[in-house]
Amino acid sequence: MQGGRGAGGNIMDDDGFILLVIGIIAAGAVAGSIGLYWSKCVEWMLEHDLVVPASAAPIVALPSAGGVGLDVARVAVVAGVALLTLVGAIGLGRRAIRRGPVS
């Protein structure tokens, strides 16, 4: 059975598309709710020292946060996390390509 649920339990192409659409809608909902609670998020980040106050003259200011932002050390951490995420994604992609198609 091509394209359907055969003996191996393969997911149909339509199921993958529907999962993609649901993921996009969920991401939009999460992004919208973060916008509603942005001021509370900024306060929480300040309390837990994830960002520096405006009086510390951050080099990267968060939008709509009243000058709150990141200093050099925090920018370096964010860049390192972004770099590790990118390297990990590339590594997983290369390994998937090397393995070939799932049968």
Spell out the domain ranges in the chain.
1-36, 50-103
Q: Split the chain (103 residues) into runs of 10 and give each run's mean pLDDT.
A: 51 77 93 85 92 91 90 94 97 88 72
Q: Which helix (H) or strand (E) holds 91?
A: helix 72-99
The CA distances from residue 41 to 2, 34, 67, in Å, are 48, 8, 14
pTM over 0.75: no
Contact 67, 54 (CB under 8 A): yes
Rounded Cα–Cα distance for residues 59 and 51 (Å): 11
Write the burial class of residue 46 (CB in 10 Å: 0-12 exposed, 13-18 middle, 19+ buried).
middle
At residue 1, the pLDDT reads: 44
Alpha-carbon Rg for the chain in angstroms:
21
